Amino acid sequence: MSTTPGPGRRPGARGPLVLMYHGIGSRPAERDPYNLFVPPEGLERQLTTLVERGWTPLTLDRYLNGDVPRRSVLVTFDDGYRSMLDEGLPLLRRLRVPATVFVLPGLLDGTSRWMARMPDEPLLDAAGVRELARAGLDVECHGWDHSDLVRTDPEGLDRNVAGAAEALADLLGRRPRAYAYPYGTHDARARRAVAAAGFQVAFSVHEGDGRYAVPRVDVNSTDTGATFRLKTSRAYPALRRVSGAVPKLRPALHAVLGSARRS
């Protein structure tokens, strides 16, 4: 085991890999136009493959402590869909893989209304959030109502950071330690607000900026075994940056590696 730096490192040569999932479940394409729901059998294959390849799944405690194996991974889930309790928890228990779930205390027992093309996906209620925490998952903060922190006004920023932290603390009996930016967007103002609210770490998606914007690798329903292996390789962050600079490269990669079939 080697001691690696804690949060604030890109998924690279030394820092832990951080994966970002959303929902778990089988959804036809018309119900999941954003490809957010990974089928349970697909998630099981992915996590089993990681472990077989020598990756160590981390709890949030271990991630924050920073004393982790070189090939280590933090598995995260955004939005707090009800399927996390119905389909995700049994699977994670069976595989004995820890996970961190980011929820929206302002939308408990509601739906994914922030998505115009997918507004009706059920979210966890308060009892479901507590059940995930009792089961040993790390339940953390994803804002109040999925507002974009870069675009919100000062009142909205306070509600989605400090207010959401207070609400989650009341619900769970402890302060949340990690924050995941809705849409992955952040700026200096948002990062300062998250730090001031007492969070120990915050996660973005691809754009990182230190401890309060740690990048994650997104995994979705179109990923195949080949694309998942590529996304969990140490070369992926650099490859993604290059593909962003060369517009034709990403479609070419998808053409070679393929996409998982949607019903």
How far apart CA 216 and CA 119 sit, in angstroms, is 25
Residues 47-72 as b/e (b if ≥16 CB within 10 A, e otherwise) read: beebeeeebebbebebbbeeebbbeb
Closest CA to 44 of 101, 86, 93: 93
Please give the pLDDT value at position 151.
Answer: 97
- Overall average pLDDT of the 190-213 stretch: 96
How many domains would you assign to the chain? 1
Are the beta carbons of 51 and 94 closer than 8 angstroms?
no
For 127-182, how does the pLDDT look when each residue is reduced to its tens digit (9 = 90+)?
999 999 999 999 999 999 999 999 999 999 999 999 999 999 999 999 999 999 99
For 48-85, how does the pLDDT look when each residue is reduced to its tens digit (9 = 90+)?
999 999 999 999 999 999 989 989 999 999 999 999 99
- The rounded Cα 224 to chain-centroid distance in angstroms is 19
- CATH code, 67: 3.20.20.370
Residue 63 lies in a domain: yes
Structure tokens that stand for 39 in this block: 């089928």
Angle at 135 between CA 130 and CA 140, to 5 degrees: 55
For residue 12, pLDDT over 50 is answered with no
Listed in sequence order, the residues at least 6 apart from 19 whose beta carbon sits closer than 8 Å to its beta carbon are 73, 74, 75, 76, 216, 217, 219, 232
Residue 64 lies in a domain: yes
Residue 168 lies in a domain: yes
How far apart CA 142 and CA 180 sit, in angstroms, is 5
Helix (H, G, I), strand (E, B) or coil at 100: strand
Are the beta carbons of 77 and 37 closer than 8 angstroms?
no
Name the percent of the chain lying above pLDDT 90. 81
Residue 251 lies in a domain: no
Residue 252 lies in a domain: no
Are the beta carbons of 230 and 46 closer than 8 angstroms?
no
Closest CA to 83 of 147, 167, 26: 26
Reported residue count of the chain is 263
Q: In the 8-state DSSP scheme, what is residue 88?
A: I
Residue 135 lies in a domain: yes
Listed in sequence order, the residues at least 6 apart from 215 whose beta carbon sits closer than 8 Å to its beta carbon are 10, 11, 18, 203, 204, 205, 206, 207, 208, 237
Residues 191-228 as b/e (b if ≥16 CB within 10 A, e otherwise) read: bebbbebebbbbbbbeebeebbbbbbbbbbbebeeebb
Residue 212 lies in a domain: yes
Domain with 204 in it: 17-221
Residue 238 lies in a domain: no
Are the beta carbons of 181 and 149 closer than 8 angstroms?
yes
Lowest average pLDDT, out of 19-23, 55-59, 224-228, 232-236, goes to 232-236
For residue 115, pLDDT over 90 is answered with yes
Count CB neighbours of 77 within 10 A. 27
For residue 114, pLDDT over 70 is answered with yes
Please give the pLDDT value at position 45.
Answer: 97
